[in-house]
Amino acid sequence: MDLSRFSLQGKVALITGGSRGIGEATALAFAQAGADVAVTARKVPELEAAADKIKNLGRKSLAIPANVRYMNELQDIVDAVVEEFGTIDILVNNAGMGLKMPAIEVDEKAWDAVIDLNLKSVFFLSQAAARVMRVHGGGKIINVASADAFKPDYHLASYSISKAAVVMLTKSLAIEWAEYNIRVNAVAPGAIRTRILESKFAAVPGAEEEAMRRPLGIGEPDDIAGIMVYLASDASRYATGQTFIVDGGELLR
């Protein structure tokens, strides 16, 4: 096998939620594989720090402060990347949130907050990026789902529902956009040690001990970066519409 197919040399990637956790790890892995990377997030200091790390790896980077929950910002994000780099070859829809509360207490505002970020923004940012990719001969879209798409987590109904919908969104876009040479896949992480997970551990007694009972324990953001590089590269050219579960064996239990 020609391992150069894993290279991202000359590619341009856009990553939402790219300032920390899985998003930042993916951005740095893409840069190490040769891509120029645009990252977007809400908090400017963290965003600029991530962009600086990419530049320190010898790649071009662009920090775009934005909140992808707001539909009027999505086209501006895509336009900024195209203006800076000329195209978008790879989109990673990583930004997301979970709201822990009993389903019987979820109101419309809470529901909309989760669905707008985890699902609606994924669809419409993918649409905006695909219009660019179609003109330039194709591209790769990678959506971040969750192991919770396949098993509901207690008091995380809106989150689990949104991530299950991302799995179907991935399939739907993949079958429609194959004719444009656009591959659409998803990654479903399990318990990855991020700030969100750490806050859950702090708030829920025994949560960390329970997470450690998974066959491979708790993962790190870098454990997701490898599958991201594969899906972004030519090595995965025959994969589309798939959700790759990277959960340390969580769903085996």
Fold (topology level) of 3-245: Rossmann fold (3.40.50)
238 burial (CB, 10 Å; 0-12 / 13-18 / 19+) is exposed
Kindly tell me if the per-residue pLDDT of 219 is higher than 90.
yes
Q: What is the mean pLDDT of the chain?
A: 94
Kindly tell me if the per-residue pLDDT of 98 is higher than 80.
yes
pTM for the whole structure:
0.96
The domain limits of the chain are: 3-245
How far is residue 106's CA from residue 235's CA, in Å, rounded to a whole number?
42
- How much is the average pLDDT of 206-219? 83
Q: How far is CA 208 from the centre of its chain?
A: 24
More confident residue, 183 or 153: 183
Residue 151: per-residue pLDDT: 92
Kindly tell me if the per-residue pLDDT of 201 is higher than 90.
no
Active site (catalytic) residues = 159
How far is residue 90's CA from residue 232's CA, in Å, rounded to a whole number?
6
pLDDT digits (tens, 9 = 90+) for 142-159: 999 999 999 988 888 999
- Residues 6 or more apart whose CB falls under 8 angstroms from that of 47 comprise 18, 19, 39, 40, 41, 63, 64, 65
Kindly tell me if the per-residue pLDDT of 202 is higher than 80.
no
- How much is the average pLDDT of 13-37? 97
Q: Confirm if 134 and 180 have CB atoms less than 8 A apart.
A: yes
